[in-house]
Structure 1
């Protein structure tokens, strides 16, 4: 059955007790349901390959109008919708299965990159109006977040049975920068903006490298 929104976050990794991305998703999902949206939320493993496989399975199962994958970027100072996913795995630390790929493609033979189709500048503008720090990010890194982002965009571009589904990726910062309640509220806002905004704002600036 087709639904409105598929949200994904990640399990804890690198010895942490929680992962802010999953906490944001867990909090945002019921808020979106209160707006009458049908929402599925999936916690992904921090594992190269397997996380993308599970996401692809969830997309095919639910056939949502919108997919927003969420990850943690602990060093950032705000919420950052991502512009582009790149076709490379280059792990600074092992994933939760112990894998440490270096300079490997996410999808062998795939394009160098895939751009988001979400209205990322409109999303950042909405954050600003609510007083929540945010910016457009030009890099999702080369760890499992980028792996999932690339797999999502590649799937939506390549599988004609999924035509019309829009997807993208958002990073949230550590809880000491933006607490879980605020991050959840902000994520719900971003999802509503993405659903309601078919064309992004045409303006420069507001970016994080």
Structure 2
């Protein structure tokens, strides 16, 4: 059995829900065959989120770590290729902190690439009927903080694990006026189950050789 840790965030920015946690909870409640899945909700707080992630990895000793975050306005699930070593907060986190141009980890590398087969994961999501794409930016808020933090944890403390960050769109209850794209958390969870199976069975160095590039 492959052990999987999947995380989502607590609501932030005045929202009452966070679709990343909604989806993570649903995946853990009905995991794919052959996988044991533990779901953990991370605080939407710089620093504390990576501390909580470290504790969750220590507790569950996963083979695979998938961290989820909310990307309001994106039309589909986006698998992040890279996390960068910078915090530059447009809004305060849930503790009121708003770091500007500060490193996630002082003195550490500029970036960490995901150790997921990102293109194969996108293909699995699409095959499951869920809109998906590769993303080349996780932003500079707490999502990127965790994306980079996970890469650093894998590189320095948990080399047995593989993992990466995935953004999910708003849920319909967050955009009741219909002015922005949204996906039901159950739909997102359905796609994520396919992603987990693919990620568990495909090393990053055996990813699909297809273009998922972007011009901007």
Give me the TM-score of the superposition, normalised by structure 2: 0.91
Matching residue within 133, 142, 164 for 1:168: 164
Question: Is the partner of 1:59 in helix, strand or coil?
Answer: helix
Contact 1:138–1:208 at 8 Å: present in 2 too? no
Contact 2:154–2:162 at 8 Å: present in 1 too? yes
Q: Which runs of 5+ in 2 are unaligned?
A: 173-181
Deviations for 1:11-46, whole angstroms, at most 9, x for unmatched residues?
0011111000000001111221x5242221110010
Residue 202 of structure 2 aligns with which residue? 197
Deviations for 1:127-186, whole angstroms, at most 9, x for unmatched residues?
222221100000000000000111110011112xx2221010000001132111101111
Q: 1:166 to 1:208 in 2, by over 3 A?
A: farther
Give me the TM-score of the superposition, normalised by structure 1: 0.93
Question: Is the partner of 1:4 in helix, strand or coil?
Answer: strand
Matching residue within 178, 181, 187 for 2:183: 178
CA distance in 2, matches of 1:147, 1:92: 13
Q: 1:123 to 1:207 in 2, by over 3 A?
A: farther
Residue 151 of structure 1 aligns with which residue? 149
Deviations for 1:47-80, whole angstroms, at most 9, x for unmatched residues?
0000000101111222100000000000101000
Residue 193 of structure 2 aligns with which residue? 188
Residue 103 of structure 1 aligns with which residue? 101
Structure 1 residue ranges (4+ consecutive) displaced by more than 2 angstroms after TM superposition: 205-209
Deviations for 1:95-126, whole angstroms, at most 9, x for unmatched residues?
00000000000000011000001011001111
Residue 134 of structure 1 aligns with which residue? 132
Count of residue correspondences = 205
